[in-house]
Structure 1
Amino acid sequence: MKSSILKRSIIILLAAILQIILFSFLFTDLFRSIEHIEAILAFISLIIGLTIIRSELIGNFKIAWIILIFIFPVFAVILIFLLQRDRKKLKKNIMENAHKYERKYKLYDTSHLNYHERQVQLLNHHAHYNVCENNETEYYEIGEKFFRQLIIDLKKAKRYIFIQSFIINTGEMWGSILEILIEKAKTGVEVKVMYDDIGCFATLDPKYPEFLESKGIETQIFNPVKPVINTNVNNRDHRKIIVIDGEIAFNGGINIADEYINAIVKYGHWKDMGIKVTGDSAFEFAKIFLETWSFSRNVSVDVEKYKGNVETYNISNGLCIPFSSNPIDEDNLAVDLLLNIINNARKYIYITTPYLIIDDMMQNALINAVKSGVKIKIITPHIWDKKAVHMLTRSNYKRLCNYGIEIYEYTPGFIHGKTLVSDDKIAVVGSINLDYRSLFHHFECGTWMYETNSVKEVKEDFINTLKISKEITQEDYNKSFIYNFFIDLLYLFAPLM
């Protein structure tokens, strides 16, 4: 397997290098043949810069692009051309397949809700995700508990199993799941597995889908990496969804790899969180899965046949709205939802995130909330998985802490969970990190909950996690001038990464 992965990596790397060299030669020869090239480049840069300023991009993206244009005008022009071309292709692909999947929804009456009706209106009235009342939720504060329950429920599957994961890695976790999937496929259960190509680039053999298909498991690689320059390679499927019979669904930050259940140790103790929904919400997650499956495979999907038999549950425990976001929609739902929660909080907001790399708009929203009397606490990892990303995360500490936002680092190791709880009313558990990649470049998903039993569980887990976390002080973010200069420089281009 390692040889196949290495061979594929070398082919893609060499192809990319050759294309970059070719582009460089073409543009160099072109510019050498044109008189007054510096003046022409300056004019083009000015026009593109003005266009970006007047565009709907958020401020941090505008700054990054304008700096890039004026420092590397030729490279920036090529990159902008490729981005526009590839974005149009991806959007066209999704739109052309939209008719093969129809998102049916019902408008929910929000008149009986308090101030949280704004989030319901955003997710339901605007984004067209169904509000589910017939639910039961179960929160898992650690990957091991999530995994144990997942195995129990997978064995109960009678009709279908859908699995969508950013990372799948061979080992104890995937081995246990795969054994069940193979047995279920033999009995006629429909099994579909979808994983991201970049997420599994170094973990699965390029021919792994053939192996799974031979076992009766339908397999789809999301956005396969090809030896052709394509900026959509940055748009990854970061979602984690498992649906069983349209009656049970799992969501959260937990990928299918052994470090997520602490079967192996990579960065100290790995703390991840997930949610199980039973009832109407499970079918909503099936829809999110099938929507991605349909445009990835270019196939029509009869969504209704995957509806679960949930009438017998007769559950009434708050509200749930499973939702998703992607980099193609004009409205960025993940950002809009987070800002909505922050702006409407009255007492507190508690957040866990492995990365804290946010734009000025999000920072200002958090700061304004604190100024209005809202207590905000954020937990990030103490042991990092990516040095540069951790440095960028810490670069946000100073400004946020100076305004009274309390930031803690999870001292036992790496906290990978993505949770938010507010005012004992609202909680969100999902795949969305507080960084540019999740908020603007990736396909993501989450579970929004209102007054379910899991809202209390998310809060209790946060408070317990605080007890083994270190509060950030001035000593942690007061660094040398050279260090801060390097981080500020790196942060300028963070939106494009």
Structure 2
Amino acid sequence: MNWTTLFLGLILLLNLIFAIIVVFQERKDAGSTWAWLLVLYFIPIAGFVLYLLFAQNFRRTPLFHWDSREKLRLEEAVVAQLEEIRTGDYKFQNPSSFHNRDLIYMLLNNNHAVLSETNRVDLLVDGHEKFDQLFKDIQDAREYVHVQYYIFQKDWLGQRFIDLLTEKARQGVRVRVLYDELGSRRLNNKFFQAFREAGGQAQAFFPSRLRLINMRLNYRNHRKLVIVDGRIGYVGGFNVGEEYLGLDPKFGYWRDTHLRIQGPSVFFMHCRFMLDWNQAAPDKPFHFFPELLPAQLAEGSAGVQIVTSGPDSVWEVIKDGYIKMISSAKRSIYIQTPYFIPDASMMDALRIAALSGLDVTLMIPDKPDHPFVHWATLSYIGELLKAGARVYLYENGFIHAKTLVVDEEVSSVGTANIDVRSFRLNFEVNAFVYDEVLAAKLLRCFQADIEDSRLLTLDQYRRRPYLMRIKESFSRLLSPIL
């Protein structure tokens, strides 16, 4: 009996120590802290193992390192643009950029996201359309192709993709493929064998250090980037797999949004890929910096900032960009997201906008792909409906688009969802675009999607079954760590 008492006392003492670590050392927000304290309370010892797997703090040590000479060159451009915007000397070429100069300054100051205004931005909203265009661009590549995806499936589309990249590698084109180990967990060395034999390079981000055990599995590189010859860049929501072509009967049609960019912003997309690659493959680094930033590459008139965030960032940069856009809105806010689990600051911004009489419209899937995340999403919807926002449930398959359009002139398209995971845990990348033409295209797509959606009213929401309310409440409690 004494040994049993001693053992239980030791467990309680260890649990208390672990709780102190969570509260005082990690310095997380209150919601996340309480969620982890509940886990530690109800699952002693094992809860701390889960904490080690899912709650590491990467903000202590920088993950991505620049060569000092290369970093200096980019920092010079950042400092110069910040000073010109601050003093009013910067010559905006685009009215949308000028109207959103505060947002531009914040992202430049917070993320070194240099603004370029001579970009051509094409919108891709269908999987077949996106991959047909992407494969054509890769076929025309002459120097290099750099590919980064969270999910790269080993199916018909994935095989066709790697076969094309293998062919380009045989032609002497430098080809690198970076994939997230968790998202692309079905990939193996055999899948890349012919590609590597042809001279291509493939690397997993945050690979397992021990077989079947990955202490960093909760921190996922959710970015999707493709850069072709420094001329063309792709960013958005599509991963690589048959489901993204609408071929998975579970989801049906897959509705997503991607951008194809030509112009100087491709250079900054390439900088992001270079940092991610060199972190994942320190034994195979590469460095790409032309002598001058490619401001001379004039393809169009869209202003673009390539903005990134991750668990290593001091602040939640993309979330801050979203909130700044919402708080600056004068007329309308249109959002498409597969997951809607906002923190208090994001929820307050949207609620205040709706209560102020702005047109706040949100579209989410009617069909869940992750039940707990879907139930948590629904738990937040009621607050927006009470504030006067409109909410549509997309019924024609699954909507995976991550878009925010404000006042029909500024938009954000990329990989970040409106949830805690994207804001704090995942490595994400978004293009913030200052262009009325693109904003109009996104709004037309939104209106077309409404035809395949149903409006959720406040009365309908209040009449939902009690079992659903219980699921929502439980899922919302866990939302800080979903």
Please tell me the TM-score bracket, short chain as reference: 0.7 to 0.9
Alignment of 1:186-335 (within 5 A): 186-202=170-186, 204-225=187-208, 226-227=210-211, 229-299=213-283, 300-304=285-289, 311=296, 313-335=297-319
Match of 1:64 in 2: 35
> What pairs up with 1:133-152 in 2 under 5 angstroms?
133-152=117-136
User: What is the aligned partner in structure 2 of residue 51 from structure 1?
Assistant: 24
Residue identity in the other structure for 1:219: A
* Partner Cα distance (1:218, 1:125) in 2: 34
Q: In the alignment, what sits opposite 1:421?
A: 405
Residue matched to 1:9? none
Query: Does 2:441 match 1:457?
Result: yes
Quote the residue 1:359 is aligned against. 343
CA contact (8 A) 1:268 1:383 kept: no
Q: CA deviation at 1:48?
A: 5.1
Cα distance change of structure 1 residues 324 and 188 upon mapping to structure 2, 3 Å threshold: same
- 1:56-93 CA-to-partner distances (Å, cap 9, x unmatched) read 53332133133334434544455556667x545x9647
Using the alignment, how far apart are the partners of 1:39 and 1:159 within structure 2?
60
Q: For residue 222 of structure 1, report the CA deviation from its aligned partner.
A: 1.1
Using the alignment, how far apart are the partners of 2:65 and 2:294 within structure 1? 31
1:93-119 residue CA offsets vs partner (Å, 9 max, x unmatched): 715677697371423233365551222
What is the correspondence of 1:398-409 to structure 2 with a 5 Å cutoff? 398-409=382-393
- Give the direction of change, closer, same or farther, for the CA distance of 1:47–1:271 in structure 2 (3 Å limit): closer
The count of residues paired between Structure 1 and Structure 2 equals: 463
- Does structure 1 residue 173 correspond to structure 2 residue 157? yes
CA distance change for structure 1 residues 77 and 148 in 2, over 3 Å: closer, same or farther?
Answer: closer
CA separation of 1:221 and 1:404: change in aligned 2, threshold 3 A: same
Residue 466 of structure 1: CA displacement? Answer: 1.4
The answer to whether the 8 A contact 2:362-2:391 is kept is yes
1:401-458 per-residue CA deviation (whole Å, 9 max, x = no partner) reads 1111111011111001111111011111111111222221111111110125322211
Contact 1:160–1:190 (Cα < 8 Å) also in 2: yes
Question: Which structure 2 residue ranges, 5 or more long, are not aligned?
Answer: none
How big is each residue's C-alpha offset from its partner over 1:113-145, in whole Å with a ceiling of 9 and x where there is no partner?
555122211221221121112211101122222
Measure, in 2, the Cα distance between the counterparts of 1:440 and 1:196. 17
| Alpha-carbon contact 1:100-1:301 (below 8 Å) kept | no
Q: TM-score, normalised by structure 1?
A: 0.84
Residue pairs, 1:380-395, within 5 angstroms: 380-395=364-379
Identity of aligned residues (%): 25
Q: Does structure 1 conserve the Cα–Cα contact (< 8 Å) formed by 2:307 and 2:430?
A: yes
Tell me the residue number matched to 2:414: 430
Query: Quick check: 1:494 aligned with 2:479?
Result: yes
**CA deviation after TM superposition for structure 1 residue 220, in Å:** 0.6
Give me the whole-angstrom Cα distance separating, in 1, the residues matched to 2:324 and 2:438: 20
Question: Cα offset for 1:491?
Answer: 1.8
Task: Note the aligned Cα RMSD (angstroms).
Answer: 3.0
Decide whether the 8 Å contact of 1:115 with 1:344 is kept in 2.
Answer: no
SS of the aligned residue for 1:399 comes to helix
In 1: Cα distance, 2:328 partner to 2:223 partner = 26
Q: CA deviation at 1:200?
A: 1.4
Say if 1:472 and 1:206 are closer, same or farther in 2 by CA, change over 3 A.
Answer: farther
Is contact 2:409-2:435 (8 Å) kept?
Answer: yes
Structure-1 separation of matches of 2:160 and 2:48 = 49
Does the residue aligned with 2:234 lie in a helix, a strand or coil?
Answer: strand
Q: Distance in 2 between matches of 1:386 and 1:82?
A: 20
Residues 237-261 of structure 1: CA distance to partner in whole angstroms, max 9, x if unpaired?
1111010011100111011112212
Amino acid at match of 1:275: L
Name the aligned partner's letter for residue 492 of structure 1.
L
Contact 1:317 1:453 in 2 (8 A): no
* Counterparts of 1:444 and 1:468, CA distance in 2: 28
Deviation at 1:342, TM superposition (A): 1.2
User: 1:277 aligns to what SS in structure 2?
Assistant: strand
Question: Do the aligned partners of 1:239 and 1:444 also contact (CA within 8 Å) in 2?
Answer: yes
CA separation in 2, counterparts of 1:224 and 1:101?
A: 27
> Structure 1 pair 404/187, CA: closer, same or farther in 2 (3 Å)?
same
Q: Which runs of 5+ in 1 are unaligned?
A: 1-28
Partner SS for 1:283: helix
- Residues 97 and 294 in structure 1, CA contact (< 8 A), matched pair in contact too: no
CA distance in 2, matches of 1:207, 1:477: 53
> Which residues of 2 match residues 5-154 of structure 1 at below 5 A?
33=6, 37=10, 40=13, 44=17, 47=20, 51=24, 56-80=27-51, 86-87=56-57, 92=61, 94=63, 102=71, 104-105=74-75, 106-107=77-78, 108=81, 109-110=84-85, 111=88, 114-154=98-138
Change (3 A) 1:494 1:35: closer
Distance between the aligned counterparts of 1:45 and 1:275, measured in 2? 44
Residues 251-273 of structure 1, C-alpha deviations (whole Å, 9 max, x = no match): 11011112212244431211111
Q: Whole-Å Cα distance in 2 between the matches of residues 283 and 233 of structure 1? A: 30
**SS across alignment from 1:486:** helix
Q: 1:30 to 1:486 in 2, by over 3 A?
A: farther
TM-score (norm 2): 0.87
Partner secondary structure for residue 233 of structure 1: coil
CA drift at 1:364: 1.4
Q: Secondary structure at the match of 1:417?
A: coil
Give the match for residue 446 of structure 1: 430
Q: Deviations over 1:308-363 (max 9, x none)?
A: 9773x533413101121111112111211111111111111101111112222211
Question: Given residue 361 of structure 1, which amino acid in structure 2 is its aligned partner?
Answer: S
Secondary structure (helix, strand or coil) at the match of 1:232 reads: coil
Alpha-carbon distance in structure 1 between the residues aligned to 2:359 and 2:4: 56
Q: Which residue of 1 aligns with 2:144?
A: 160
Contact 1:98/1:295 (CA < 8 Å) preserved in 2? no
Q: Hey, what's the Cα distance between the residues in 2 that align with 1:450 and 1:360?
A: 27
